[in-house]
A and B are shown apart, each in its own frame.
Chain A
Amino acid sequence: MSELIPTIIAKYNYWIYITLMMIGLYAMIAKNNLVKKIVGMNIFQTAIILFYVSIGVKKGATIPISTGGHGAAHEVVHAADYLNPLPHVLMLTAIVVGVATLGVALALALRIYSRYNTLEEDEILAQIRKK
């Protein structure tokens, strides 16, 4: 136990993303309501976004912008000093993808609701079986 806690604290970002991911996965598997499943899916996606964002972060680092303006001599930028913007930029795309997926999923849920008048999966399946 005394070893476990420091390991968790040292890599807490990974533990958080795994926990969130599992919450999302649980909701998608276990919940009966379609909208709750969609929310679970969104939590799942967000967990991965958090993972990417956390791997790009560095304590005490600066932004990756060259401070020397035009005309000034090129100053050396040390890679160790600034934080890597690439994972964060990638996640802009992933956020857009997540929003689009959420939109499509909710549109489908609307279509389902207008057809079966319910969003509970077991009730929908019962209606399908009755036909």
Chain B
Amino acid sequence: MSQQYPVLIVIVPLLSAFAISIAGWVNKRLCFPIIVTALGVAVYASVGLLLTVLEKGVVIYHLGGWPPPVGIAYYVDHLNGLVLVVVSLVALLNVIACKKSIELEFPDKAAPFYTLYILMVTGLLGIVVTGDAFNLYVLLEIAALTGYGLLAMGEERAPLSTLNYLYMGTIGACFYLLGVGYLYIVTGSLNMVDIARLLPPLYQSKAVLAAFIICMVGVWLKMAFFPLHAWLPNAYTHAPSAASSLIAPLVTKVMVYVMIRLILTVFTPEFAFATLALNNVVVWLAVIAIVMGAILALAERNLKKMLTFIIVAEVGYMVGGAWLGNRAGMTGAILHIVNDALMTLCVFLVVGNIVYKVKGYAFEDLQGLFRKMPFTMGAFVVGAMSIIGVPPTCGFFSKWYLILGALQAGHYGFVAALIFSSLVSVVLFFRIFEICYYEPFSDHHGHDHPPEPMDEAPLLMVVPLLIVAVILILVGLYTGDIVNHVIKFAIPEGLV
């Protein structure tokens, strides 16, 4: 059984998508148990897989028994073992937390929503688990197409924002495909490990250089790296809250994983950092991404849109950290994939709860929320602290590694950008705390009117949110173990 974990992670959610769409015809109440079971199996299998990897090293699974390079291989090492656990866990917690809001927002469309949801998770898990460059493209498109469907189910402007995302997303995926094509011309292989084995004599070839740059641009488009970020804020803001709290934490992070996988495994750090000498340029781009993300977030008067600009800044952290070209920076980037997925989930679930109760997420709607929804806002404080980077929440530790890496690389611009963005986050979040503490302005002064009663979101929404908040602190406290037992082995020896 445990040898089959890599394929179970993809197959179980994929088949349950069919089961859910059939169950939608028979009895709508069956959909939710099926999706929770399927995601539970995925979480179980990915945790089991991570433990196997920690114990025995890299797991390679040959689909259908065909050995690579002819067949498709699933390749799981410490890097994607960790990301798999994060992706499946975030998807599971989010679907439980969003059950009520899904029922509220689209009562007759719950079954199609769950079907798209689980297909999207299938795509994301597949991207992470696969060891085949073309297979990755197909799964990328599965995740993207279902994502468009989920995002477009939102409010009035959602279809237009989603269509803009669709243009950009398609260009991104096509660029990646083109890059893989160039790699195929020079190596004749699509298996990532096999390509890495064949590439070293070809490092001087212009085709390899073109492949690398085209792949990178494609992936940057998909992850909304600064100059290519224009699609993200609107698409995520107008989406239904259940969809944005799945897509916002996972899609950009999975794309960062793809970038790191391409750098570490396919092209190897020697090529990406030493032969190419592009580090400085990309890190400066990341600096601009962080600064612009922070400034644009500051300009927003709308909680959800503000958070989407924070995602743009966070992508800058991860890209910059990965491209610093040293071990500490890469550790910070990988750790930040985990942390950022969890803290983005936390704050977007809070937005979901607020929308469920208050029906809005503009700053004016937030007044008096600390009294009304104390548990939700408590979790929001933890998530905000983590994004700012206050110890012992996990956000502090990844920022620590990123700054350490930047100092080692002598890149003070990146250090300055990280500190600047942390300071801006302080302003952003304390402004919201302030608004949420004060009661709505009332017309009759002097009269004591009874304070608004507590009106918390349902238990099914609050409990998963509190679990996420606790996980944020736990991951922070156990950062040392994650780095020493998992991430240390995810980065090749050659990278110092």
Partner-B contacts on A (CB < 8 A) = 25, 28, 34, 37, 41, 44-45, 48, 51-52, 55, 87, 90, 93-94, 97, 100-101, 104-105, 108-109, 111-112, 115, 124, 128
Q: Which of B156, B160, B167, B181 contacts A51 (CB 8 A)?
A: B181
Q: Is the CB of A108 within 8 A of B178?
A: no
Name the residue of chain A whose CB is nearest to the CB of B152: A108
Give the residue of A25, A34, A55 whose beta carbon is less than 8 angstroms from that of B163: A34
Q: By the criterion CB–CB under 8 Å, are A52 and B181 in contact?
A: yes
Residue-wise interface mask of B (147-182) relative to A, using a CB-CB cutoff of 8 A (1 in contact, 0 not) = 011001000110110110011001100100110010
Q: What are 11 A-B residue pairs whose CB atoms fall within 8 Å in the complex? A: A25-B171, A37-B167, A44-B171, A45-B170, A48-B174, A48-B178, A90-B134, A101-B141, A104-B145, A108-B159, A108-B162
Which of B134, B166, B170, B178 is packed against the most chain A CB atoms within 10 Å? Answer: B170
B185 at the A interface (CB under 8 A): yes
List 18 other contacts, CB 8 Å, given A41-B170, A45-B174.
A28-B167, A37-B167, A41-B167, A41-B171, A44-B170, A44-B171, A48-B178, A51-B178, A55-B185, A87-B184, A93-B134, A93-B138, A97-B138, A97-B145, A101-B170, A108-B152, A108-B159, A108-B162
Residues of B whose CB lies within 8 Å of any CB of A are 134, 137-138, 141, 145, 148-149, 152, 156-157, 159-160, 162-163, 166-167, 170-171, 174, 177-178, 181, 184-185
* Residues of A close to B181: CB separation below 8 A: 48, 51-52, 55, 87
Residues of chain A with a CB closer than 8 A to B138's CB:
93, 97
A51 nearest in chain B by CB position = B181
- When the two chains form the complex, which single residue of A51, A94, A100, A128 contacts B157, counting CB atoms closer than 8 Å? A128
Among A44, A48, A97, A104, the residue within 8 A (CB) of B166 is A104
B161 CB → nearest A CB, Å: 10
Taking CB as reference atom, which chain A residue is nearest B175?
A48
B145 contacts which chain A residues (CB < 8 A)? 97, 100-101, 104
Least CB distance, B146 to chain A, in whole angstroms: 9
- Residue from A25, A55, A93, A111 within 8 A of B152 (CB atoms): A111
Q: How far is the CB of B370 from chain A (nearest CB, A)?
A: 32
Chain B binding surface SS class: helix
CB-CB under 8 A for A112 and B170, given A48-B177, A101-B145: no
B188 to chain A: closest residue by CB: A84
**Distance of A45 Cα from B159 Cα, bound (Å):** 22
Residues of A within 8 A of B167 (CB): 28, 37, 41
Given the known interface contacts A104-B149, A108-B166, the answer about A44 and B174 at a Cβ–Cβ threshold of 8 Å is yes
Measured CB to CB, the closest approach of chain B to A19, in angstroms, equals 14
CA distance in complex: A93, B177 (Å): 12
Q: Which residues of chain B have C-beta atoms less than 8 A from A97's C-beta?
A: 138, 141, 145
- Distance (Å) between the CB of B271 and the closest chain A CB? 22
Closest 6 CB pairs of A and B: A111-B159, A108-B163, A97-B141, A108-B159, A112-B159, A104-B148
A56 CB to closest chain B CB (Å) equals 10
Give Cα distance in the complex from A87 to B159, angstroms.
34
Answer whether A115 and B166 are a contact pair too, CB < 8 Å, given A101-B145, A108-B148. no
Quick one: which of A45, A94, A101 has the most chain B CB within 10 A? A101
- Chain B residues lying within 8 Å of A37, measured Cβ to Cβ, are 167
Q: Which A residues lie within 8 Å of B134 (CB)? A: 90, 93
**Chain B residues in 8 Å Cβ range of A105:** 163, 166
* Distance (whole angstroms) from the CB of A45 to the closest CB of chain B: 6
Given contacts A87-B184, A104-B148, A115-B156, contact A109 B163 (CB under 8 A): yes
- In angstroms, Cα B137 to Cα A52, docked, is 14
Select the residue from B148, B149, B156, B163 with max chain A CB neighbours within 10 A.
B163
Q: How far is the CA of A63 from the CA of B148 in the complex (A)?
A: 39
Q: How far is the CA of A93 from the CA of B174 in the complex (A)?
A: 13
Which listed residue, A28, A45, A124, touches B160 by the CB 8 Å rule? A124
Q: What is the CB-to-nearest-CB distance from B148 to chain A, in angstroms, rounded to a whole number?
A: 5
Q: Nearest chain B CB to A7's CB is how many angstroms away?
A: 14
Task: Tell me the bound Cα distance from A90 to B184 in angstroms.
Answer: 11
Task: Report the bound CA distance from A90 to B72 in whole Å.
Answer: 13
In Å, the complex CA distance between A55 and B152 comes to: 37
- Cα distance A48–B80 when bound, in Å? 29
* A123–chain B nearest beta-carbon distance, Å: 12
Residues of chain B within 8 A (CB-CB) of A100 are 141, 145
B149 to chain A, nearest CB (A): 7
- Chain A residue nearest to B184 in the complex (CB): A87
Closest to B142 in A: A97
Q: What residues of A have a CB within 8 angstroms of the CB of B137 in the complex?
A: 94
| CB-based contact B171/A28 at 8 Å | yes
- In the assembly, what is the distance between CA of A41 and CA of B174, in Å? 10
Task: Tell me the bound Cα distance from A115 to B163 in angstroms.
Answer: 14
Bound complex: CA A52 to CA B157 (Å):
37
Residue of B nearest to A113 (CB): B159
B185 CB contacts on chain A under 8 angstroms: 55
Task: List residues of chain A with CB within 8 A of the CB of B148.
Answer: 104, 108
Interface centre among A52, A87, A108 (most CB of B within 10 A): A108
In Å, the complex CA distance between A111 and B155 comes to 12
Name which residue of chain A comes closest to B177, CB basis.
A48
CB distance from A93 to the nearest CB of B (A): 6
Residue of A34, A104, A109, A112 with most partner-chain B CB within 10 A: A104
Q: Kindly list chain A residues whose C-beta atoms are within 8 Å of the C-beta of B162.
A: 108
Closest to B140 in A: A97
Write out the residue numbers on chain B whose beta carbons fall within 8 Å of the beta carbon of A104.
145, 148-149, 166
